[in-house]
Amino acid sequence: MALRKIMLSGVKPTGRPHLGNYFGAMRQFVKLAEEHEAFVMIADLHALTTLHNAAELKQNTLDLALDYLAIGLDPAKVTIFKQSEVPAHAELAWIFNTLVTVPYLQRAHAYKDAEAKGKELDAGTFTYPVLMAADILLYSTDIVPVGRDQKQHVEYARDIAEKFNHTYGETFKLPNPLILSDVETVPGIDGQKMSKSYNNIIPLFASDEEITKAVMAIVTDSSGERPENVYQIHKLFKSAGELASLYEDKKGKYKELKEALIDDIKTFTKPLRERREELAKNPEEIIKILQAGSAKARESATIKLTEVKQKVGLDL
């Protein structure tokens, strides 16, 4: 049997996952895990760049593990792990830090945004793409399913792999991002990109009341006939054909269209929510799954890191 290709991705435990995270990235994890050797990470070291509260980080980590399981990731087939449990990530990031230049990192979107806003940037945020490159390259990843906003980070991983290979000899495989064009940027209830940091999300595991409240708050523009922000979210749940007749029937009736969207979100998310509630009854089980996954990830990562240490002369 040919060796399966490798997929790796991750989400930061910085808050509740939303429809953008799910449709843009997490759903692909489940699909790809069927045909790939899959690594799905809780990016807790990356979360530290924005979250400085131990209790919250811990809770978010367990919550994200639950979310992963509830969307259908099977720990028997997928290595679900916590980034900080695999020290090779931070070690390799350091080695990469000695290869990338400051002007190169200054071209990253996150850096440029912070600079444009006149914000002071911590060194962790500045080198964020380097740690992410280590995450990806340690596992000889072929494919990285992410939303559009992460494209540049996967390109950084490719560049860094090339630079390392050029300097020390062929060591890293070049990864490719997988970005689905129809869900690459899911809008939030205000029409901007849905994001945990913008207060504009519809959580994936929301209660019925939360779903209703969030959808009713979607900003609509009364100039057109179709409420575009409602439609853009609706199309995650229904085909263009189904929506064409619905939006034709209910032309201009924004409230009814929102009610239809509320029903569709509820129907879609109900089984996921139920599974999550079941799983949440057994927190010890979740911790065990993370420990086992992290041990497996450590094993894989150590092989690559050992090779790297030999290449750069850190072995004895």
Q: Which residues bind ligand TRP (CB under 6 A)?
A: 8-12, 43, 46, 132, 135-136, 144, 146, 150, 153
Q: How far is the CB of 192 from ligand ADP (least distance, A)?
A: 9
Q: How far is the CB of 101 from ligand ADP (least distance, A)?
A: 25
Question: According to the binding rule CB under 6 A, does residue 152 interact with ligand ADP?
Answer: no
Within 98-127, which residues bind ligand ADP (CB under 6 A)? none
Find the part of the chain contacting ligand ADP (CB under 6 A) among 9-17, 214-222, 235-243, 300-308: 9-17
Q: Identify what 144 binds: ligand ADP, ligand TRP, none; CB under 5 to 8 Å per kind.
A: ligand TRP
Q: How far is CA 188 from CA 56, 151, 197, in A?
A: 24, 20, 11
User: Distance between CA atoms of 10 and 22, rounded to whole angstroms?
Assistant: 12
Question: According to the binding rule CB under 6 A, does residue 194 interact with ligand ADP?
Answer: yes
Which residue number, 147 or 227, has a Cβ lying nearer to ligand TRP?
147
User: Distance between CA atoms of 21 and 75, rounded to whole angstroms?
Assistant: 20
Q: Identify what 196 binds: ligand ADP, ligand TRP, none; CB under 5 to 8 Å per kind.
A: ligand ADP
Name residues whose C-beta falls within 8 Å of residue 86's C-beta, 6 or more positions apart in sequence. Answer: 138, 294, 297, 298, 301
Q: How far is CA 122 from CA 50, 88, 115, 222, in A?
A: 10, 22, 12, 42
Which residue number, 10 or 75, has a Cβ lying nearer to ligand TRP?
10
Q: Identify what 185 binds: ligand ADP, ligand TRP, none; CB under 5 to 8 Å per kind.
A: ligand ADP
Question: According to the binding rule CB under 6 A, does residue 197 interact with ligand ADP?
Answer: yes
Question: According to the binding rule CB under 6 A, does residue 20 interact with ligand ADP?
Answer: yes
Contact 89, 128 (CB under 8 A): no
Q: Identify what 197 binds: ligand TRP, ligand ADP, none; CB under 5 to 8 Å per kind.
A: ligand ADP
- Using CB under 6 A, count the residues that bind ligand ADP: 19
Q: Identify what 153 binds: ligand TRP, ligand ADP, none; CB under 5 to 8 Å per kind.
A: ligand TRP
Question: According to the binding rule CB under 6 A, does residue 46 interact with ligand ADP?
Answer: no
Which residue number, 195 or 294, has a Cβ lying nearer to ligand ADP?
195
Query: Which residues make up the interface to ligand ADP (CB under 6 A)?
Result: 11-12, 14, 20-21, 24-25, 146-147, 149-150, 183, 185-186, 193-197
